[in-house]
Structure 1
Amino acid sequence: MSRHLDAMPNNVTTLELHWSENTRLLQSSSSLHDYLCSSPHLLHLRAPKARYYIDYMDVFRRAHDHRTPKNNHGILPNVWHCRRLETLHLGFEISRQPLTGTPAIFLRILFGYIARVLPLLRDFKSDILVDNTHRLRQTIDLGSGFCLLAKLKYLEQLDLGGREYTAETYEVSWMSRAGSSSQEREARQKLVKTWDDIIKLELLGYGVNGDYHTFRDDIRRMSHVSAGMVEELNFNGCLLDVARMVKIIDTDGFKCWPRLQRRPILYRRS
């Protein structure tokens, strides 16, 4: 599959990838990453059996060993060029290599990246594994950054695997068409307040690779990445990013996913 992607022209609008049982999915992840970073015309990607490393999305290395400018899979920072993508069916993986982050930070990286890099997304279907073997016992609580997907105002279909996810009611009530009660908003604000010390460290640069400014300059030189995009990805993966989003969803009149055909997310209290 890697050889086929390397030879694929970058003017393709629809790409569907299928694997036989003996295909080494993860070895194809870097080729897929390179292709997505160089394909401005791609509108539809359907590769549900693929396993794309979330750490490719960790542009400023919030969850990585600070001693190397590359992530643990040898990929330098880059941003997908397919900004007009409408369909994304793709499997993601959190590796078990010695990273500094927890599963929660990888979820924040994933959701924040998708929400910013793919603003026109209509159909998002995904599954998330750890080390290509164990399905992530995923939560959709505030700390996971799931609420960052509320930025996707054109979203019509959302499927994260069809499983139950854990969260408190006040952490997910923003998804309801009826909106949140004042008590639920207050509970969210109280939770965000407990993050204050961590957010202060994030603002001071804690958790950022020492080569942060080099990464930033390299990305700014990419013709397909605007200065605004660099700024938006600056705190991707951070609780600060989520705290800012909570302020938005708690605004009077906020409506989440006005085009979503149904609310497929099932949750139970954690």
Structure 2
Amino acid sequence: MADKVAVMMEALHDAYSKGALQRLKEVWVFHLSMAQLDGSMELFLSSLTGITTLKLHGYGLSLYLRRIMECCPNLEDLAIEQARSVTFVPPAVPDIYGIDQLWYLRTTKTDLMSWPVSKLRKLVVTGMALDMSILESLFQACPRLQALWMVQARIPLGVGNGDANGSKAATFDKDKFFALVARCCPDLAKFHFSMQDSKLSAEDLGAMRHQFLDMTHWSFADTETGPVLREGILKFASLDSLPNRLTTLELLPTRNSIEIKGDMLHEILCRSPHLQHLYAPKVIYYFEDLDVNDVLSHTGYYRKDTKRKSVSDNLDFALHAPTETGQYDLQTNGHQGRRRRRIWACRSLKTLHITVNGRTRDSNCVTNALVMFGYLSRVCPNLEELHLRRYLLTLTFLGGLCLLTRLRKLERFKIATNTYHNLNEKTLEWMRRYPSTEEVLKRPLAAYFVKQTIGAPLFRGPDADQNSDDNSVGIDDNSRISRRDDAPGTGDDEHDVDMSKVGLAQDLIDWMKERSSGQYPTWPNMDQFCVEYEEGYLPDTGRAASFLRRVRPEIDFQLVHKKYHQ
């Protein structure tokens, strides 16, 4: 790869010397590894002074913002990710952590203040060394900035904050920093700030709310997940703040995070009615929170000693409409003394990236999948992009993956799993643009399922409704059908959507009746369908891919073999 980069740099230099790059100096996007440039950064930058978008990736090198911005005055989008450090110091200063650098930075402050105004609208930097005087120069030069991500920033030795002893500064004045950004960048609409060695405090979050009153797009590191961040975010989303200040929330993974546990996502989703985009790919949402009908209890999923002890209190409440005071009215539903679980309040959710796993254990039984897919199909009708991660997952018809076809606006769908089961041509008949319910029923298990539940009247017309609703039907871990006459329902008396069939086989019956009408195509807006898996039966995988590409050629269907925790 290094040889290829060297050849590219030589070609760029040759083209530049002949004037061949003049026409191309308008919009260039680069994804380059700094480790592969091998000292050619100066040549690279001087050859591409007209680029507007630049993305650099690399480890073990110091990157110099000042030099990049000087050489590329037309930059509008700059991203420097996974570098050892980012600073304004030119390459002549040998070590970012040396005490001599403190002297150099302070003596060049006047020069930094004389920078011409930058065209930058988006800036992403990872590992930036924080010094207030340098930051002031940066943001004063970027008045057009609309999006700022300062990821895993660090406080270098003896730089700024009044520490001239060469020891690591104990604190960084975040209040002053937030005020600086707000003052210099009035158009800022997206903001991320995280530090390597500390988390944001309640006071920090309060200062952010105060400085960015109109901001609706908030971004944090997922390692910040916890009670402090949860309460801070809920204040962003509180109904008594007008306008509501949370439409987009990012809890982004860092290099140090694998999966983040906690109940925060459930609380936020239940109390953020204006939320439209949630990016939390490595934050775990417990699927027990989705079990609004307590279906898993009837399958024996909950162990006797953990059935309720491991379930947080916030699962046992129902979310009502806000009262006149703007507070939520939490009541019981009166059914055998049980309190109802809350459901998500964000009906306008368009983007959802989460990991779904169990609190104490997980299972790939069909009921677990049926609960998850059934819940999402009813609560998030406006989803356009859905990324789900789950360690164990069943993708059979009985597992309810077909229920997501109710999401008619869905455009991009990705599932990442360690082990999937039964994703093959025989179980994917429902993926056709206009599937035949008769073909679906040719599958032995599906036919047995219908026979044991409502039988032949399913496709005869309205009379089937009376037969199908008499009894709720559940599916046990062994995919056997079990009738449940005593299953407690949740109804829709307190919610704007009927959740009474989530997790029940009756949900599949309703889906088949919906599809038999042929009123709308399956996923009419779908552009991409992707399954990432670590373990699977490869012959079935190949046949499934061939089948889907044949019946839905307009969809970019991908089966990607990838380590789950990668």
Same structural fold, with TM-score higher than 0.5 when normalized by the shorter chain: yes
Q: Does 1:199 align with 2:473?
A: yes
2:432 counterpart (145, 153, 176):
176
Pair 1:33–1:181, CA change in 2 (3 A): closer
Q: Contact 1:248/1:254 (CA < 8 Å) preserved in 2?
A: no
Aligned-partner SS, 2:275: coil
Q: Contact 1:45/1:89 (CA < 8 Å) preserved in 2?
A: yes
Aligned-partner SS, 2:372: helix
- Separation in 1, partners of 2:266, 2:493: 19
* Structure 1 residues 28-47: aligned runs within 5 Å: 28=262, 30-47=263-280
1:25 counterpart (239, 249, 260):
260
Q: Does 1:89 align with 2:353?
A: yes
Q: What's the CA shift string for 1:164-222, capped at 9, x where partnerless?
A: 65245343122123x4457624415624325429838655124x4xxx6xxx49x845x
Q: What's the CA shift string for 1:221-266, capped at 9, x where partnerless?
A: 5xxx22xx2xx21121011111221232233465100000134359
Q: What's the CA shift string for 1:97-139, capped at 9, x where partnerless?
A: 5x9x8732111111011110000000000111xxxxxx21x33
Q: Which residue of 1 aligns with 2:247?
A: 13
Q: Which residue of 1 aligns with 2:382?
A: 120
Q: Does 1:237 align with 2:503?
A: yes
User: Offset of 1:40 from its aligned partner?
Assistant: 0.6
Aligned-partner SS, 1:114: helix
Q: Which residue of 2 aligns with 1:148?
A: 403
- Separation in 2, partners of 1:23, 1:149: 27
Q: Which amino acid aligns with 1:25?
A: I
- Separation in 2, partners of 1:72, 1:102: 20
Listed as ranges, the gaps of 5+ residues in structure 1 are: 129-134
Pair 1:82–1:183, CA change in 2 (3 A): closer
Q: Contact 2:437/2:512 (CA < 8 Å) preserved in 1?
A: no
Q: Which amino acid aligns with 1:123?
A: E
Aligned-partner SS, 2:506: helix
* Structure 1 residues 126-145: aligned runs within 5 Å: 126-128=388-390, 135-136=391-392, 138-145=393-400
2:289 counterpart (44, 47, 56):
56
User: Offset of 1:157 from its aligned partner?
Assistant: 0.4
Q: Which amino acid aligns with 2:447?
A: K
Q: Which residue of 2 aligns with 1:131?
A: none
Q: Contact 1:49/1:90 (CA < 8 Å) preserved in 2?
A: yes
- Separation in 2, partners of 1:54, 1:44: 20
When structure 1 is superposed on structure 2, of 110-119 and 58-67 the one drifting more is 58-67
Aligned-partner SS, 2:343: coil
Q: Which residue of 1 aligns with 2:372?
A: 110
- Separation in 1, partners of 2:231, 2:388: 24
Q: Does 1:161 align with 2:427?
A: no
Listed as ranges, the gaps of 5+ residues in structure 2 are: 1-224, 238-243, 317-340, 455-471, 475-481, 533-539, 545-566
* TM-score normalised to structure 1 length: 0.76
Which structure: larger Rg?
2
Pair 1:4–1:243, CA change in 2 (3 A): same
Number of aligned residue pairs? 243
Q: Contact 2:259/2:282 (CA < 8 Å) preserved in 1?
A: no
Aligned-partner SS, 1:25: coil
- Separation in 2, partners of 1:71, 1:63: 15
* Structure 1 residues 63-102: aligned runs within 5 Å: 63-64=296-297, 72-74=310-312, 75-76=315-316, 77-97=341-361
Q: Contact 1:61/1:71 (CA < 8 Å) preserved in 2?
A: no
Pair 1:182–1:19, CA change in 2 (3 A): closer
User: Offset of 1:96 from its aligned partner?
Assistant: 4.1
Q: Which amino acid aligns with 2:230?
A: L
Pair 1:116–1:168, CA change in 2 (3 A): same
- Separation in 2, partners of 1:24, 1:165: 23
RMSD value, Cα? 3.3
2:527 counterpart (238, 261, 269):
261
Pair 1:81–1:66, CA change in 2 (3 A): farther
- Separation in 1, partners of 2:410, 2:275: 17
Q: Which amino acid aligns with 1:259?
A: N
User: Offset of 1:141 from its aligned partner?
Assistant: 1.3
Q: Contact 1:88/1:124 (CA < 8 Å) preserved in 2?
A: yes
- Separation in 2, partners of 1:148, 1:73: 26
Pair 1:242–1:72, CA change in 2 (3 A): farther
* TM-score normalised to structure 2 length: 0.39
